[in-house]
């Protein structure tokens, strides 16, 4: 029957319950969706295993004067170091399973209900290998690359002529000064910019971005895709805020010409 | 007629049906009226029932796949001894039951299987329910062991075209204590030894008020071990069915328990659930991928990530709980 040719024999045998099922000699695990799985395979890669790294971290204490805008470097260091540790542990898992890299990395921070000074940082992604053993996709120093790109984004990035190198990040925890009594009274009932607040936010964001960019440059990247800036206050006092920049550093694939990239088609979906 | 209005009373027929269910569950079978209904659906008597959208129906038809009936499996399970293992067992029993119904319907597969839980506060128990659509592939004999697949009908066809069969659901689970623990269910005291005790004192110290930035290494190692064991458990289950798993649910909790005159102990539990696939290594994806720009203003349907297929672990908090 013509319309059934689309389903391969191998799959049909399994559906009829004819084929033996078990694969005792190794299975892969991943948190891909169906589409991601198909696209990663289409890109010529196979998943090997879910890579997870977690870091449970106790944050030190730091105080800032009532009226000073400044970085809280103890907290900045903590937030960066804890994430870096989680990422490193994830990368170790990937290395142990022989992965070329990790895609779809999600980095989360969770406050522990039982201690406000303890945070759990988790990095989770799927380790993949090139199906034909191509070695050119490894990250810096021959280690597995890391990337926050989904399976879809990974396929598209490769077709854009770039490959992921590693996730880069920058963190800055900043104390925003409170306004003095006189200044508050002076501006009561007026529409004015609170310049010191604006400046504090600018400065904190700038520091986080700078650190991320520096990391990418040091890794030998040409650029950073999917860069994102998160603002968060992980249960800290008011006036304390974290700026966290994260993205995937990329390098061009040698020999890939921009002319090879096909023009995308325009579609208008009438489906809902 | 009572003081507070009429009270519902089961009729003789409904009592009989409930009795039939009890016997069937006890014998790992199905009541006659269910077998009859499903056999009727398989033979094409009466209407077929499917959870599919019209678009999915279209794709199924073009690939020679026919819906038969909605099938389900439920197991209301009490986790008196262990929360973690109870969950694994509950899902496992529900899986056996949906497979039984699919077999009675003469199916090759159950697609679009959803994992559901009613959240009724009924002590240390909950229901584990699977609902899906039994389908038959034209020209194939009914399978003695129909596959149970959590992917939608649309994705089912797409996977089959790429020579990947989504064959079932696997659950990996693991819990453990760091430190001594007296069972709250009347069990014996378990002692996990001197090493744990040392680890807990070190953790306590690192968390003290004057302690600076520091990773809690003992807790991290303990937590990592639990997660790895849960994943190893998953791999074992997967190896019985296929060669890979798309794990959509990763649920872990690290819970502190206060103790008298000693540093607090920790309970870690981890559950990982996924769709098992059977895929040939390195086999090509047949379709060409065309790049398109969707001209609609809202998010393109081509980019919408899959909504989670079950929500049993979404609102569970990190509070004191059972193992």
Q: What are phi and psi of B50, to 5 degrees?
A: -140, 150
ipTM for the assembly:
0.81
Taking CB atoms and an 8 Å cutoff, what residues of chain B touch A39? 289
User: What is the DSSP secondary structure assignment for residue B37, as one 8-state letter?
Assistant: H
Judge whether residue A44 has pLDDT over 90. Answer: yes
What are B16's two structure tokens? 């009989």
User: pLDDT, tens digit, for every residue of B145-173?
Assistant: 899 998 888 889 989 999 999 999 999 99
Global pTM value: 0.83
* H-type alpha helices, B164-216: 194-206
The residue behind tokens 């909950």 is B126
Which of B 67-106 lie inside 8 A of A, CB atoms? Answer: none
Judge whether residue A64 has pLDDT over 80. Answer: no
**Which residues pair with residue B168 across a beta bridge?**
B276
Nearest chain A residue to B297 by CA distance is A268
CA distance A111 to chain B (A): 10
Q: How many CB pairs (< 8 A) connect A and B?
A: 219
User: pLDDT, tens digit, for every residue of A80-102?
Assistant: 999 999 999 999 999 999 999 99
- Nearest by CB: A7 against B161, B235, B319: B161
Nearest chain A residue to B64 by CA distance is A4
Contact B256 A114 (CB under 8 A): yes
CA distance A165 to chain B (A): 23
Burial of B146 (0-12, 13-18, 19+ CB in 10 A): buried
Which of A 154-213 lie inside 8 A of B, CB atoms? Answer: 155-156, 159
Q: What is the mean pLDDT of residues A178-201?
A: 84
In angstroms, the CA B249 to CA B172 distance is 10
In angstroms, the CA B43 to CA B36 distance is 10
Contact B250 A113 (CB under 8 A): no
Q: Interhelix angle for B153-161 vs A34-42, to 10°?
A: 20
Strand segments, DSSP code E, in chain B are: 65-78, 109-116, 125-137, 147-148, 164-178, 181-182, 189-190, 214-215, 244-259, 262-279, 292-294
Which of B 262-291 lie inside 8 A of A, CB atoms? Answer: 264, 274, 277-278, 280-285, 289-291
Taking CB atoms and an 8 Å cutoff, what residues of chain A touch B285? 38, 41-42
C-alpha B227: how far from chain center: 17
Which of A 249-268 lie inside 8 A of B, CB atoms? Answer: 262, 264-268
**Which residues pair with residue B165 across a beta bridge?**
B278
The residue behind tokens 């000699």 is A25
- Nearest by CB: B248 against A3, A31, A266: A31
Q: How do beta strands B189-190 and B109-116 pair?
A: unpaired
Query: What pLDDT is attached to residue A186?
Result: 81
Give all strands of the β-sheet with B214-215 in edge-to-edge order: A145-146, A101-112, A115-130, A45-58, B214-215
CA dist B211 → A86, B204, B208 (Å): 21, 10, 5
DSSP reduced 3-state for B3: coil
* Chain A touched by B17 (CB under 8 Å): no
* Chain B touched by A10 (CB under 8 Å): yes
- A93 in Cβ contact with A51 (< 8 Å): yes
What are A252's two structure tokens? 């061009």
What are A181's two structure tokens? 């009594």
Nearest chain B residue to A150 by CA distance is B305
- Nearest by CB: B301 against A27, A159, A271: A271
Across all residues in chain B, what is the average pLDDT? Answer: 83
Across all residues in chain A, what is the average pLDDT? Answer: 88
- A35 in Cβ contact with A141 (< 8 Å): no
Q: What angle do CA B85, B88, B91 make, to 5 degrees?
A: 145
Confidence of residue A114 (pLDDT cuts 50, 70, 90): confident
Q: What is the mean pLDDT of residues A2-9?
A: 61
Higher pLDDT, A74 or B305: A74
In angstroms, the CA B116 to CA B70 distance is 15
Burial of B76 (0-12, 13-18, 19+ CB in 10 A): middle
Query: What pLDDT is attached to residue B323?
Result: 55
CA dist B197 → B187, B203, B220 (Å): 21, 10, 15
Query: What pLDDT is attached to residue A46?
Result: 93
Task: Pick left, alpha or beta for residue B127 (phi over 0 → left; psi -120 to 50 → alpha; otherwise beta).
Answer: beta
pLDDT beneath 70, residues of chain B: 1-5, 119, 121, 180-195, 297-323
- A249 in Cβ contact with A166 (< 8 Å): yes
What are B287's two structure tokens? 């379709």
DSSP reduced 3-state for A193: coil
Query: What pLDDT is attached to residue B315?
Result: 58
In angstroms, the CA A52 to CA A110 distance is 15
User: pLDDT, tens digit, for every residue of B215-228?
Assistant: 999 999 999 999 99
């Amino acid at each position: 029957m013509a319309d059934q040719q689309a389903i391969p024999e191998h799959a049909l045998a399994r559906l009829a319950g004819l084929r033996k099922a078990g694969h005792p000699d190794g299975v892969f695990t991943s948190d891909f969706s169906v589409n991601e799985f198909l696209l990663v395979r289409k890109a010529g890669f196979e998943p090997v295993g879910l890579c997870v790294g977690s870091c449970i971290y106790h944050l030190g204490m730091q105080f800032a004067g009532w009226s000073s805008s400044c970085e809280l470097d103890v907290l900045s260091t903590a937030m960066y170091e804890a994430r870096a540790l989680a990422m490193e542990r994830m990368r170790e898992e990937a290395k142990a399973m022989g992965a070329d890299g990790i895609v779809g990395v999600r980095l989360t921070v969770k406050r522990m209900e039982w201690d406000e000074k303890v945070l759990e940082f988790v990095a989770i992604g799927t380790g993949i290998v090139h199906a034909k053993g191509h070695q050119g996709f490894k990250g810096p120093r021959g280690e597995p690359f890391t990337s926050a790109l989904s399976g879809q984004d990974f396929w598209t990035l490769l077709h854009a002529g770039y490959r992921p190198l590693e996730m880069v990040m920058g963190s800055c925890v900043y104390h925003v000064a409170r306004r003095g009594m006189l200044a508050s009274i002076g501006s009561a009932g007026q529409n004015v910019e609170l310049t010191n607040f604006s400046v504090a936010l600018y400065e904190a964001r700038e520091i986080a971005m700078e650190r991320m960019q520096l990391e990418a440059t040091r890794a030998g990247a040409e650029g950073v895709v999917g860069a994102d800036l998160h603002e968060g206050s992980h249960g800290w006092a008011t006036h304390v805020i974290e700026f966290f920049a994260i993205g995937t550093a990329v390098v061009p694939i040698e020999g890939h010409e921009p002319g090879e990239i096909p023009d995308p088609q325009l579609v208008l979906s009438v489906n809902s | 007629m009572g003081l507070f209005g009429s009270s519902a009373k089961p009729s003789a027929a409904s009592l009989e049906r409930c009795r039939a269910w009890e016997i069937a569950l006890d014998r790992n079978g199905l009541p006659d009226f269910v077998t009859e209904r499903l056999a009727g659906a398989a033979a094409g008597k009466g209407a077929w029932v499917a959870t599919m959208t019209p678009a999915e129906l279209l794709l199924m038809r073009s690939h020679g796949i026919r819906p038969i009936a909605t099938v389900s499996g439920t197991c209301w399970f009490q986790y008196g001894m262990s929360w973690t293992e109870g969950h694994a067992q509950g899902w496992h029993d529900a899986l056996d039951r949906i497979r039984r119904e699919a077999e009675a319907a003469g199916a090759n597969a159950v697609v679009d299987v959803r994992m559901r839980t009613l959240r009724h506060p009924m002590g240390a128990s909950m229901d584990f329910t699977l609902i899906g659509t039994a389908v038959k592939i034209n020209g194939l004999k009914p399978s003695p062991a129909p596959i149970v697949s959590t992917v939608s009908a649309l994705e089912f066809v797409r996977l089959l075209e790429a020579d990947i069969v989504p064959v079932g659901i696997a659950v990996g689970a693991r819990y453990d204590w760091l430190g001594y623990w007296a069972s709250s269910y009347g069990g014996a005291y378990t002692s996990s030894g001197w090493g744990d005790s040392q680890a807990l004192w070190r953790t306590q110290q690192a968390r003290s008020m004057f302690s600076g930035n520091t990773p809690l290494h003992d807790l991290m190692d303990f937590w990592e071990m639990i997660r790895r064991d849960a994943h190893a458990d998953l791999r074992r289950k997967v190896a019985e069915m296929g060669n890979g798993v798309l794990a959509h649910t990763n649920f872990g909790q690290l819970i502190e328990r206060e103790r008298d005159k000693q540093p607090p102990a920790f309970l870690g539990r981890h559950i990982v659930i996924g769709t098992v696939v059977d895929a040939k290594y390195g086999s090509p994806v047949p379709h060409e991928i065309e790049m398109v720009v969707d001209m609609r203003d809202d998010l393109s349907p081509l980019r919408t990530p899959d909504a989670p297929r079950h929500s049993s672990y979404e609102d569970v908090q990190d509070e004191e709980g059972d193992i």
